[in-house]
Each structure stands twice: as C-alpha cells, then as structure tokens.
Structure 1
C-alpha cells in the first residue's frame, strides 16, 4: 500500500471537488493522509482517508476586491501561509514517508514540501484554472476579467499597450521573489497554480477558455459530482411541477440582503417555483414578504435539486457551475468575487447560460435572463454538451491511473 499526502485549502469549494478523487485513491489500495482544517474532518474521513489537522495555522480566506493591489496581497498571503506550513509540518510529513504529495493549486506549502522531500508532486485545480500562458495570449482578458482592473487609472492609461501585462507580471514576480527569498518565479504559475509536472483540472478542454494554452502537463479529468453524505433534508413533496428555478449563492458570501430581495421581486408571482438557499449566516426568519411560490432554506441538497431544476441562478463558484453542467441545467450567473467572473464568462461562451454583471443586478434583467434560459432550448443543449464532455475525459478513474503512473515513473527514474 502506497502512502499519499493531500494538502487541501479549508474552503468548501476547494474540498468538495477532491473527495471523489480521494475515495478513488483509497479504493485503489492507497493510504491517503489529508491535511485540512478541523471543520472538514467528517467529510474527509468518510472517503476512507486519514484526516490530519492544520491546527489553526491556515484559515484560508478568499480575498474580495479587485485590481493590482489585491493581486499582490493575495500572492503574499499564499506565500506567507506556504512558508509557515512548510516549516511547521516538515518533520511530521517527512516521518510519514509519502510516495507522492498531491495538493490544491493554492497550497504552495504542498509544492514546497514535495520539493524538500524529493517526492513527486501533483497540483489540483479545484477552482477555475488560470495560467500564465492564457494571459500571455490575451493580456486584456487577464487585466479585465481576472484582475478586474478595467477602472484602474494605470490600466486605462496604458490599455492596448502589448507590453503592459508582461511588465506587470515581471514586477509582481520580482517583488514576491525578493520578499520570500525565492529564485526566478512566475507569480501566476508558481504561486497561484503551484505548477507541477502533473497538474489535474476538474473540467474539460471543451469548457476551458484558451484551452490551447494548456500543455500536456495539464490533465483534464472532467468533473464528478460527489454525493454529499451530509446533505440537508428537503421536502421534495412540496415541489409542485411548475418550472423549477433554483437559486444559491454559495458558502462565502454573507451580505446577501440585496440579492435575496432582488430575487423575490424578480420571481414573486411568476409561473415558476423557486427554491432559494441562503446559507446559515442569513436568518431566514428575518425575511418579510416571502412570495408564495418561494421555498427559502439555509441549505438544500444541491445535487438532488439540480436533478429537478429547469434553471439555476448562481454566484458562479466552480462547484456550482460544474455540478449544474453535470446535470445539464442552464444557468444565470451573477458573479460576486474572485474567479466567479471568469466562470460566468465560461458559461456564456459555452452557451450554457447567461452572465449578468453584478453591478447592474436588478429584478428585471434577472427575470428576463431566467425566462430566456427556460424558453430557449439552446441553453439546455449547451449545458448538456459540456456535461457530456466532462464524462468523455475518463473522469476520476483516468485521473487516478495517471497519478499512479506518474508517481511510478518519477520514483523509478
């Protein structure tokens, strides 16, 4: 039995996509040790892996905001956590004698520990992948849709200059390298992607923007929606047969008041039934004037709801988008933070749904967007097409076999 270590990031959107992979590794006879924060112990242990705690050292946070300053702050955060955890965990991990270290793309400490121990490393993109080669082929896309720097005075001044992106990346990379004692580094691939000789992506080339930028070191393994052992109960008997619109804005956002109010104004009295998941941070009992065609709950079993849904209104997190595509459900994406803007654009370009700019969010455009995805079969066809492309990759069986083959090659080299 081979011992494999997985270093995770303590966010639901980063842990959930990995659970099927870990379960498959265990089923193949591997002993998997999964490092994460304590709140994820239960769901990790249910895969058959051994849970190990970061002991309060991580507390990963998604950095809201946009622009060059936020980009630099987030890179610094990853590096500081990476160095701290690599130092604190080195002796412990060395004693485990792993044959391979697999880690979240944001878990720089996994890359660092694999290098220090001289064992093969695999990076896993639990979120939407973004690599340097994508930005190099379309610098404007990076500046406007990833950095969200469209209103930055410096960007406005130099917009259209072909050397702006490489100069920015070179400058930020030098700053990160100097602050953290690194050699030559590319901040996107080496810090945000923790690039390894094998990099696993839970998607397909058919859905990926600028897929030609991804060389053979990137393995597209589709997406497998792993059933939730801790799924919330839901009164399915209350679904009455009207077109079902499912609305959820993930586990990160807490200030949902305007979004919830906008949704109730958009669909109250419409000939649809709405199921809305608002999370535990928002008190459902505080809502006034909930329309009769709404069911509002803190959490719902998302996979089961998507099996019945006709449209999905989502913030655009990777898990939500991928699960909707697996179910063939068209989306209206209202991105709020970070890579959700890129996810919304991917959905739009795949003709699997409609992207709404959050700044212009209002009941009327939301209502019209949902009507469009309900009435135009092209969106459901587009969503189903991408779901089929996920399954055509070979999925988790192919991913696990590739990891085993890569590890054996490196060990025997």
Structure 2
C-alpha cells in the first residue's frame, strides 16, 4: 500500500479537511504521516497520529487584529507564510527522509511542502482548503503578484537549493480543492484541479454542549468567527448577542476569548462548540465567511449571513452571495439592527435555504474525502510504477 505525508500549517481550518482525507486513506490500508505543529495535529488527527514536528516562527499567530486589505496581505506573506516555510523546512525534510512517502500532500499555506517535494523529485498534490487562490486574487494587482513571486524565489533558494520551478501553491501533479463549481462560480482553474467538495471526517471533540438547551420548535442560529479572529471580534459578537433581543430565534455564540458579558435569555454563549454535530440542529449560520465554516454550513443546506474580515473571506463571502445562499454584511458596520435584519431575512425567505440546498447537493455528489483519497491513490500508484525496474 502507499505512504502519504501531509504537510500542513498550524491552522485548524487547514488541518481539518486534511484529517478527513487522511482518515479515508488509513481506512483503505495506507500509511499516513504528518509534518507540522505536533500539539495541534495530535489534537485534530488523534493522539495516535504519526507526526513529524516542525518548528514555528516566533510570533506566528500575532497578527494585529486591525490589519485589513493590502496591509493584511503583506503581513500574510511577509510575516507569516514565508517565515513559516523557513521554520518548517527542516522538519519537512526530516519527515521525507524518515517516512519515505510515495506521495506528499502540501497545504497551499505550507509552502515548504511543495518546494521540498519538487526539489526531491517526489510526487505531490496541493491541498487547497480555501477557494480564494483558485480565483486568482492577485490577477488585478500585477505588482503585488511580482512581489509574491520574488518572495517565493528567495524561499526556494534558501530551503530547496534553488531547484524546481513550480508554484508551490499549485502542484503540476494536481490540486485538491475542497469546494464545487456551484459555490466557486465560473473561474479558470489551474491544470489538474479536482473539485472534491468538503472533506468532513470524524473529529475528536473536547467540547461539552448542553444539547437540551436547543428548542426544536424555535429556529437557532450558530454564530462563529472561527479560531483566528478572537482579537477582532469583540464588537461584532457583542452586536450579534444584542441582535437577538426581541427575536423569536435563538443563538449559539462561540466566544473563545470570553469577551461577552450578560446576554439575552435566548442566547447561549460557549467558548467552543462541537460544530459538526451541532450544524444539523441549527437553521442558519452567522460567520466571518471562513471557507471551512461556510462549507460545513452549506453541506447541511444552511443559509448564511457572512461578515468577512480579511484574507480569503471577502472572496468566499462573494461566492456565497453569488450562489444565492446568504447575505453579506460589512464587518465593521454590522451593528445589532443590521444583524437582526439579515438573520430574519435568511430565516424567513425560503430562496436562501433552497440555494444552500443546491450547493449541498453538489457537495455530496463531489465525493469529499473518498474522492480526494482516490486521486491520491492514483498518484501513489504512478509513483510506485516509476520505482519498479
């Protein structure tokens, strides 16, 4: 059977889809290993996962919450992606040497994976956990694209000896994109891109939840800004809690930073929730348009209210609106009345639910983890065939 090495950044939303694919490969009898942040991987992939630890750059998660637009993009590349690749490179190289994978799966934001795989002549596939890069967000910014190219060239020289020429975000062997055309829209995709839909594998959960609080008669909305936006979310979560005052609907608000004080009686505040088990029991989702939260909501046919903050979120929010599956709010202007109006709209206007269900049908048909594993198996077979005399 094959050996597959997953190279992932220290980001929950990027690890979770890979966990689903890795679990499917393991169930088919393949060997799976990981290169990345060991504590996070043991939490998400399970304590028995074979993990090759990679270092993290100092201050990797210390992005100022006020950064948006071009400043956020510059920070993402200059202060996170490139330093992360430099820090991870020794661990990834050690993992390749020790595990000797037949194929490598490199997340788009774990640049060391693609660069080192190409330099070693190892077949590799890109894991595109967000569709933003597929839409080429730098197409209208040639100077920014040139700057990114220079950063990648410098990185290739430092960690891969200057070997190779492929963009580490788009493997020529294939790109696994965890979305479908129904959400992505009409875009020109990189060669050998496979639209596999969300990969929703089983996840370890440490979140206790008061399931009896849910009311099957009254609609419930899940409110979440993900795991990386705590610093930017105080005003938004406060407004969201206030928005449900007087509404017939209920809200479950995820508040990992503990920023909320007193809330209306129809609002439940939790530091974390078991999101996948909870989604089938709610009626809509209010979120930051993070790709994983959006796809998990749409997998269950749930309409959305999206308030993007930065990075890929504005692109994903635009996709949700274009698909007819939700309403977009401006994050900085999303006060309680605007949130209440948008939530009421998606709960009462059936077209949003119908559009969400159309996307859900495409997700289910795409194959998810099973389809992704099938593509990786084929790549591994090709690799093994080349090794035979």
**TM-score normalised by the shorter chain: which range applies?**
0.7 to 0.9
Give, in angstroms, the shift of residue 314 of structure 1: 0.8
1:397 is aligned, of 367, 370, 381, to 370
In structure 1, the partner of 2:175 is 199
Greater shift, 215-224 or 362-371, is seen at: 215-224
* TM-score, structure 1 as length reference: 0.83
- Partners of 1:232 and 1:299 within 8 A in 2: yes
Greater shift, 378-387 or 170-179, is seen at: 170-179
Aligned residue for 2:181, secondary structure, equals coil
Give, in angstroms, the shift of residue 224 of structure 1: 3.2
Residue 277 (1) aligns with residue 267 (2): no
Change (3 A) 1:56 1:179: closer
- Partners of 1:174 and 1:185 within 8 A in 2: no
Residue 381 (1) aligns with residue 358 (2): no
In structure 1, the partner of 2:194 is 219
Change (3 A) 1:171 1:405: same
Deviation per residue, 1:62-120 (Å, 9 max, x gap) = 85623445434433342333234324542452232211111111111111221232110
Residue 208 (1) aligns with residue 184 (2): yes
In structure 2, the partner of 1:366 is 339
Aligned residue for 2:289, secondary structure, equals coil
Residue 342 (1) aligns with residue 315 (2): yes
Give, in angstroms, the shift of residue 299 of structure 1: 1.3
Structure 2 gaps of 5+ residues are none
Aligned residue for 1:380, secondary structure, equals helix
Residue 268 (1) aligns with residue 268 (2): no
Give, in angstroms, the shift of residue 382 of structure 1: 0.6
RMSD between superposed Cα atoms in Å = 2.7
Deviation per residue, 1:21-71 (Å, 9 max, x gap) = 000111111111112213324345539641222244587448562344543
Residue 53 (1) aligns with residue 53 (2): yes
What does residue range 171-190 of structure 1 map to in structure 2 within 5 Å?
Answer: 171-174=147-150, 176-177=152-153, 181=157, 190=167
- Partners of 2:22 and 2:32 within 8 A in 1: yes
Deviation per residue, 1:243-290 (Å, 9 max, x gap) = 1122111111223321122112211121112211111x2255xx13x1
**Counterpart Cα distance in 1 of 2:341 and 2:176:** 37
Deviation per residue, 1:308-366 (Å, 9 max, x gap) = 21221111111110110011110101112211111111111111110101122111111
In structure 1, the partner of 2:224 is 248
- Partners of 1:133 and 1:214 within 8 A in 2: no
Residue 169 (1) aligns with residue 145 (2): yes
Deviation per residue, 1:115-167 (Å, 9 max, x gap) = 2321101110122341475754xx3xxxxxxxxxxxxxxxxxxxxxxxxx334
* TM-score, structure 2 as length reference: 0.88
Give, in angstroms, the shift of residue 394 of structure 1: 2.4
